[in-house]
Structure 1
Amino acid sequence: MKNVFYYNTKIGKMGIEENGAAITRVFFLTKESQREVAKKEETILLKEAIKEINEYLDGKRNSFDLPLSPEGTEFQKKVWDALKEIPCGETRSYGEIAKIIGNEKASRAVGMANNKNPIMLIIPCHRVIGANGKLVGYAGGLDIKEKLLNLEKNYENSKNKIF
């Protein structure tokens, strides 16, 4: 059985779901995003996840140390693994991700996998931009994507923070 709990954050109300061993989903709360399959219970793992997310949003963390278990196809998992390798404060295009995973003609498929990322923020799909450098698609909206990217640029520009 999966457990889910909902939290208010600086960027909106979010749900975090886990399967007893790993985080399976992080999402913005909407009527459509709530599932009946998860039991609403705050577990130790969910408490650790929101702690790390809040530290990230407060500029005190630039990476996450949580067990993850995203559900998806092998192709999607390959894309999501590539997303985790994008350093904080940097971006990649869909085409660059396609090349990284060894399928340079799959930029549209990479975009679809990016769109299906079940563990937003922690698997940093917000770091993927259009080939022209413009911000494109994000489940939380482009304004949130821009805020996250600016937050990460501030990490890189700050010499006084300890990560």
Structure 2
Amino acid sequence: MCGTMSKALGGSGGMVAGSTSFISGLKARARWYHGAAAPAAPVAGATEQALRILLDTPEMRERLRCNIVRLRGGLARLGLDVDSWPTPIVCVKVGDGANMERIQRTLFDRGIAIAHSRNYPGVGEEGALRIAVFSTHTDAMIDRLLGEMASLL
């Protein structure tokens, strides 16, 4: 299992979980490991604190899980092709790049920030709308996004 410390935790770098022998073999064979620099002490400290908060507040994880289900389910009900991954970032394609740019700009003008990501792995030349949901989003916020999206489709 591997993960990033930069997105949900707001830190830097990443992690790989595994047995001692697996990690030792990975360190011996991974070229990227030999050229990597350690994160700055304040960044490492902030990442450590973020991990503590994550472990000490399971209700935040549960709220995030509920928000992910609400967002993905709502987008699917709008007829959008949404994968079933349990991640808090959702990519959706809505027509061509110009249409997605229009949706992104209109939502921004209405106070909702999502990204129209081009040049993102796996989304193709036209890009995709990338929507991130957090544990701090309320049901009303998610429902508002879904309602605004429905009006723009």
TM-score by length of 1: 0.28
Instruction: Tell me which protein shows more helix as a share of its residues.
Output: 2
Say which one has the larger Rg.
2
